[in-house]
Amino acid sequence: MKSSRSLRSLATICRQQTADPLRMFHNVRTTRVPTIPTSRPYSSSTTTSTTPPPPKSSVDPTEVAHFNALASSWWDPHGPSRILHLMNPLRHTFISRCMHGTPRTSKPPSALPSKNLRYLDVGCGGGIFAESAARLPTTASVTAIDPTPSVLAIAESHKRRDPTLTLPGRLNYLNTSIEHLPVPSNPSNDAYDIVSIFEVLEHVSAPGPFLEMAMKQVKPGGWLVMSTIARTWTSWLVTNVVAEDVLGIVPKGTHEWSKYVNEDELRAWFLERGWGRVGNEMRVQGVMYVPGLGWQEVGGSESWGNYFLAVRRPDDE
């Protein structure tokens, strides 16, 4: 589902009024995927999994169909996912800042072990984040899930190019969505140190229930890390009107602006559930693509553009 990340990034470029990186999108197939009006708690089924569909799914079938079309150019460094590839290192910088605190804030009460971390990457797409997490020397294993079979096939085939990733248990792809994952019975043992949801929330039919499922996968003391884009007039204008209609460089139907989640909404939502109440247990970082400089952290931009948000599961939960 994550090729939309490039489009997300594209949104930011458009905001920068620079046409240059747009040429990378020339080979995106602009098949129109019909967009379903969005007033749904859950869409009724998923069309992608071979397992019988559950009664409710977080996956929007139109989204799945859409990304099947984009999948082939996922790993082309000059292809449509380029800006997404460029963003990936920032995710790691953000995560390690969450885990290790900053000089100003004290460390979380019981810091995560600095080694043998277990990751769950939700909506892993072609595996850009999952591969990089699995390569880190501090990683024990990465479980990466995505409901779109063709996208996962790309991830699997790309994984074979790196002997480190094919080490047993290092990186496991599962063709599934989060509601099919078993809920850890003993979270302190079976849950994950880091659960990541990058550029997925804006494509999910109902973010609340989706996030609740993800929260169950986080180990006490572990982190839930996500990135998405704020629902503002700028983002609507740029991603939906300029990129899709005016320029025609982003496949139509990639974005549904009404699905975008704002940072203050997310914050409040987690606080209500008792997560992130202690000062340094919730972190937000706005990021922006600046042509010529690449992705930059820009304080305050979380309220109108792309942002990372991480929240730590309380130890006693």
CA dihedral (21, 27, 33, 38) in degrees, to 10, reads -20
292 annotated binding-site participant: no
203 annotated binding-site participant: yes
Residue 170: CB minimum distance to other proteins, A: 12
* CA dist., res. 109 & res. 107, Å (int): 6
Site string for other proteins, 31-70 (x = CB under 8 A): ----------------------------------------
With CB under 8 A as the contact rule, which of the stretches 54-62, 77-85, 104-112, 247-255 interacts with other proteins? 77-85
78 binds other proteins (CB under 8 A): yes
Residue 77: CB minimum distance to other proteins, A: 5
Residue pair 58/205 in contact by the 8 Å Cβ criterion: yes
* CA dist., res. 76 & res. 72, Å (int): 9
67 annotated binding-site participant: no
Specify the DSSP class assigned to residue 237. Answer: I
Q: Which of 256, 257, 4 is nearest to 125 (CA)?
A: 4
Site string for other proteins, 89-128 (x = CB under 8 A): x--xx-----------------------------------
118 annotated binding-site participant: no
Residue 306: CB minimum distance to other proteins, A: 18
202 annotated binding-site participant: yes
Nearer to other proteins, 63 or 121 (CB): 121
Size of the site for other proteins (CB under 8 A): 21
Q: Alpha carbon of 143 to those of 35, 91, 115, 175, 243: distances in Å?
A: 30, 17, 16, 11, 33
Nearer to other proteins, 28 or 211 (CB): 28
Q: Under rule CB under 8 A, which residues in 129-168 are in contact with other proteins?
A: 131-137, 157, 160-163, 166
* CA dist., res. 263 & res. 286, Å (int): 10
* CA dist., res. 313 & res. 310, Å (int): 10
Site string for other proteins, 207-246 (x = CB under 8 A): ----------------------------------------
Taking phi first (over 0 means left), then psi (-120 to 50 degrees means alpha), and beta for anything else, what does residue 169 get? left
HSE toward the beta carbon, residue 199, CA cutoff 13 A: 30
Residues 6 or more apart whose Cβ sits within 8 Å of residue 292:
none
* CA dist., res. 174 & res. 64, Å (int): 15
Residue 82: CB minimum distance to other proteins, A: 8
HSE toward the beta carbon, residue 137, CA cutoff 13 A: 0
- Residues, the chain: 317
One-letter amino acid identity for 13? I
Nearer to other proteins, 80 or 276 (CB): 80
Residue 310: CB minimum distance to other proteins, A: 16
91 annotated binding-site participant: yes
Specify the DSSP class assigned to residue 242. Answer: I
Tokens of 263: 């940072």
Residue 147: CB minimum distance to other proteins, A: 24
Q: Extract the annotated binding site for S-adenosyl-L-methionine.
A: 91, 123, 146, 198
Give the annotated binding-site residues for Mg(2+).
199, 202-203
The annotation places the binding site at 91, 123, 146, 198-199, 202-203
Would you tell me which residues interact with other proteins (CB under 8 A)? 77-78, 85-86, 88-89, 92-93, 131-137, 157, 160-163, 166
